[in-house]
Amino acid sequence: MPLAEQPSTVPVVVDNDKCIADKGCRVCVDVCPLDVLRISDMSNKAYMAYDECWYCMPCEVDCPTQAVTVNIPYLLK
């Protein structure tokens, strides 16, 4: 079995420098139909808790600071 040369990534990536969840924003968490996004107890920033993304995009589209990026697999584009 070949070893992975790059770390795998989750579909939804949150830029902690742009995320304002620590100021009370919960938009990405509230709009996710699968409830896979959470606010971290340690950093108070949003993150993807479960890798069950449907690539539906409301978390990325509705984020007021463009902190959320949904990485759509090439075959789904």
What is the set of domains in the chain, with CATH numbers? 12-76 (3.30.70.20)
- For residue 56, the model assigns a pLDDT of 94
- Pairing relation of β-strands 68-70 and 37-39? unpaired
**Which residues contact residue 37 at a Cβ distance below 8 angstroms, ignoring those fewer than 6 apart?**
12, 28, 29, 46, 47, 48, 49, 59
Q: What is the pLDDT of residues 31-57, one digit of tens each?
A: 999 999 999 999 999 999 988 899 999
- For residue 77, the model assigns a pLDDT of 61
This model's pTM is above 0.85: no
- For residue 4, the model assigns a pLDDT of 45
- Pairing relation of β-strands 46-48 and 37-39? antiparallel
